[in-house]
Amino acid sequence: MSANVAAIVMAAGQGTRMKSGKAKVLHAVCEEPMVSYPVRLAQALGAAPVVLVVGHQAEAVEAEVTRRFPDGVAFALQAEQKGTGHAVMMGLGALPDFEGRIFILSGDVPLLTRGTLERLAASVGDADPLALVSFLLDDPTGYGRLIRDGEGRLARIVEHKDASEAERAVQEVNAGIYYVDAAFLRSALARLGNDNAQGEYYLTDIVGIALADGHTVRSVLADPQEVAGANDRAQLADLDRAMRRRVNAALMATGVTLVDPERTYIGSQVQIGRDTVVEPNVYLRGQTAIGADCIVDTGCVLSDATIGDGVHIKPYTVIEDATVHREAIIGPFSRLRPKAEIMEHAHVGNFVELKNAQLGPGAKANHLAYIGDASVGPKANVGAGTITCNYDGYGKYRTNIGAGVFVGSNATLVAPLTIGDNAYVAAGSTITDEVMPDDVAFGRARQVVKQGRATALREKAKAEAEAAKKAKGKVG
Ligand code: UD1
Ligand code: MG
C-alpha cells in the first residue's frame, strides 16, 4: 500500500428510517456505536488522518468519537446534506495539503473487514485514480448499479432513481466504499453536478469522470453481508447479530468457552484469556480485559474492567472501570465502581459496593458494605453492614484500614479516619477518631440489662392495648 493514506468516513446523514432522535451512526452494534468500526478499521490500515464527515447531530457524534479515539480523527462539518459527493467535498476540506490515497467509507457499514480494504487497495494500478467495492444482490432495489461496457469494463454507476428499466435489472451494485487518489478526487469533485433525480451531488459520478479522463476504474467484489448498511432497526439487529457471531467465534477460536454464544454480548475490543468460561447473559463492554482460567457467571455486566487470571466472578456482578487481581472472588451481586481495585485472593461478597477503594490481598468484605475512598490492608476483614462515611455533602474523605484489621458488623467509619494494623472495631460502632495498631475500639452505648423486667413490660403493653379497645367501643 502506498505510504500516504488517509480516510474519509461519511457520517452526516440523518438515517430517517431509523425513526430515532439519535444519529444513526451512534446506534450500537455489539456494544459499540456503529461509527467506531470504520474509524478503527481505517486507523488499522494506517490512514492518517481519519476525517469524519458529521452533520446530523454533529456535536454528539464528534463527542462520542473523540472519547473513543482521542487521537488521529479530524472532523469536517457538512451542515446541509447535499449528497455523498458533497459530503466528501467537505471531508477533503480537512485534508487541504494531503497527497496520496484516500479510503472513502460509510459510517453505517460496521462489518467491513480489513481483508476487503486490502484487496481494494491492491487492485489499484499506479496510474489508476480509483477503485471501488461492489457486491451482488438478488434484489438490488435502492442501490447504485454498476454499468459495464461490452468488454465488461466499468463505465459508470447509475443510482436506482435515475436508472432505466434495463439498468435496474443489473444485480451488481455499489457498496459505497472507495480508494481514490487525492489529487484526482479534488479535481473530479470540482466537476460534479447535481442534475439528477435527487438533486444531489453524487459521489458515484466520479467513476464516469475518471473514464472520461481516459482512466480505468476497477472494482472488487465483496460478501454482501460484509458491506451491508443499517438503514432501519431490523437491519441494525441483523448487523448486531452478525458482528456478535464474528466476535464470539474469534474468542472461541483462541480457547475461550462461551456456554451459549448467541446469548453472550461481548464488544469487539474485549480481550479474554484461555480457558476462561463465560456463562450466558453476560455483557462485556469497552476495553474490558479478562485473564485466563476465570469464570464469569451469568448476568454479569463488565465495562472497561481489568480482571487477572483465575478470578471467579459470581452471578449478577456489575463492574465498571475497576481492576480485580488474580484469584480473587467477586459476587454474587457485587458492585465495583470506578477505581475499585481488588487485590489477589481477596473476596467481595453479596451487596458490597466499592468505589475508588483498594481491598488488600486476601482481605474480605463478604456482605452488605459500602467501601468508598478507602484502602483496606492485607487480610483485613470488613464485617457485614460496614459503611465508610466518605462524604459530608461537600468534600470526600479517605478511610485507611490497616493490615489484619477486624471491622465488626454494622460499623460506621466516619472519614477521614485511620485504623492501625491488627486493630479491632467492635460491632455496631460509630468510629470517628483514629484507632492505633493492636487497639480495640468501641463506639457504641454500653448494654444495660434489667433483670426480669420483660414480664412487667408485657403486662403493661397488654393493659394499654385493652384500654384503648374499650375506649374505641364506647365512642362507636
Ligand atoms: C449510496 C450510493 C449508492 C450505493 C449505496 C450503498 C451515492 C450517490 N450512492 O447511496 O451507489 O449503492 O450508497 O449503500 O453515493 N451521507 C452524508 N452526507 C450526505 C449524504 C450521505 O454524510 O449528504 C452519508 C450517509 O450518512 C451514509 C452515506 O453517506 O453514511 C451513504 O449515504 P446514503 O444516503 O445512504 O446513500 P445511498 O442513497 O444509499
Ligand atoms: Mg444508504
Condensed to tens digits (0 to 9), the pLDDT of residues 154-208 reads 999 999 999 999 999 999 999 999 999 999 999 999 999 999 999 999 999 999 9
Q: Which atom of ligand 1 is nearest to the CA of 78?
A: 18
User: How many C-beta atoms lie closer than 10 Å to residue 180's C-beta?
Assistant: 25
Residues annotated as catalytic (active site), given as ranges: 367
Q: How far is the CA of 204 from the centre of ligand 2 (A)?
A: 13
**87: Cβ below 6 Å to ligand 1?**
yes
In the chain, the domains with their CATH numbers are 5-221 (3.90.550.10), 257-441 (2.160.10.10)
Q: How far is the CA of 330 from the centre of ligand 1 (A)?
A: 48
Residue 306: enclosing H or E segment and its boundaries? Answer: strand 306-307
Q: What is the mean pLDDT of residues 343-359?
A: 98
> Given a cut of 90, is residue 255 above it in pLDDT?
yes
**84: Cβ below 6 Å to ligand 1?**
yes
State percent of the chain over pLDDT 70: 99
**204: Cβ below 6 Å to ligand 1?**
yes
Q: Which ligand is nearest to the CA of 106?
A: 1
Q: Which of 84, 109, 225 to mutate to test the pocket of ligand 1 (most atoms within 8 A of CB)?
A: 84
Q: What is the mean pLDDT of residues 310-323?
A: 98
Cα–Cα separations (whole angstroms), residue 19 to 15, 27, 197: 8, 12, 24
| Cβ proximity of 425 and 405 under 8 Å | yes
Cross-strand partners of 419: 401, 435
Residue bearing the CA closest to ligand 1, atom 39: 143
Q: What is the mean pLDDT of residues 412-420?
A: 98
**107: Cβ below 6 Å to ligand 1?**
yes
**423: Cβ below 6 Å to ligand 1?**
no
Cα–Cα separations (whole angstroms), residue 156 to 55, 112, 173, 333, 346: 28, 23, 11, 60, 66
Predicted confidence at residue 474, as pLDDT, reads 77
**11: Cβ below 6 Å to ligand 1?**
yes
**67-97, pLDDT tens digit by residue?**
999 999 999 999 999 999 999 999 999 999 9
**13: Cβ below 6 Å to ligand 1?**
yes
Q: How far is the CA of 17 from the centre of ligand 2 (A)?
A: 10
**18: Cβ below 6 Å to ligand 1?**
no
Q: Which atom of ligand 1 is nearest to the CA of 203?
A: 15
Q: Which atom of ligand 1 is nearest to the CA of 80?
A: 23
Q: Which atom of ligand 1 is nearest to the CA of 107?
A: 30
Q: How far apart are the first and last CA of the chain?
A: 97
> Given a cut of 70, is residue 58 above it in pLDDT?
yes
Q: Which atom of ligand 1 is nearest to the CA of 175?
A: 6
Q: Would you place residue 332 in the very low, low, confident or very high pLDDT band (cuts 50, 70, 90)? A: very high
Q: What is the mean pLDDT of residues 103-118?
A: 97
Q: Which three cell numbers stand for residue 377?
A: 490492608
Q: What is the mean pLDDT of residues 136-150?
A: 94
Q: Would you place residue 3 in the very low, low, confident or very high pLDDT band (cuts 50, 70, 90)? A: low
**263-301, pLDDT tens digit by residue?**
999 999 999 999 999 999 999 999 999 999 999 999 999
Q: Which atom of ligand 1 is nearest to the CA of 87?
A: 18
**140: Cβ below 6 Å to ligand 1?**
no
pTM of the model: 0.91
Q: How far is the CA of 342 from the centre of ligand 2 (A)?
A: 47
Predicted confidence at residue 473, as pLDDT, reads 83
Q: What is the mean pLDDT of residues 380-394?
A: 96
Residue bearing the CA closest to ligand 1, atom 26: 13
> Given a cut of 90, is residue 231 above it in pLDDT?
no
Q: Which atom of ligand 1 is nearest to the CA of 81?
A: 23
Alpha-carbon gap, residue 15 to 25, rounded angstroms: 8
Predicted confidence at residue 476, as pLDDT, reads 57
- Cα torsion 185, 189, 192, 197 to 10°: value is 90
**135: Cβ below 6 Å to ligand 1?**
no
Residue bearing the CA closest to ligand 1, atom 21: 84
Q: How far is the CA of 37 from the centre of ligand 1 (A)?
A: 17
**278: Cβ below 6 Å to ligand 1?**
no
| Cβ proximity of 407 and 413 under 8 Å | yes
Q: Spell out the residues 6+ positions from residue 342 whose beta carbon is closer than 8 angstroms to its own.
A: 322, 323, 324, 325, 328, 330, 336, 348, 354, 358, 359
- Mean residue pLDDT of the chain comes to 96
Cross-strand partners of 258: 278
Predicted confidence at residue 475, as pLDDT, reads 67
Residue bearing the CA closest to ligand 1, atom 1: 176
Q: Which ligand is nearest to the CA of 13?
A: 1
**91: Cβ below 6 Å to ligand 1?**
no
Alpha-carbon gap, residue 354 to 343, rounded angstroms: 13
> Given a cut of 70, is residue 2 above it in pLDDT?
no
Predicted confidence at residue 173, as pLDDT, reads 97
Q: Angle, nearest 10°, between helix axes 84-92 and 182-190?
A: 130
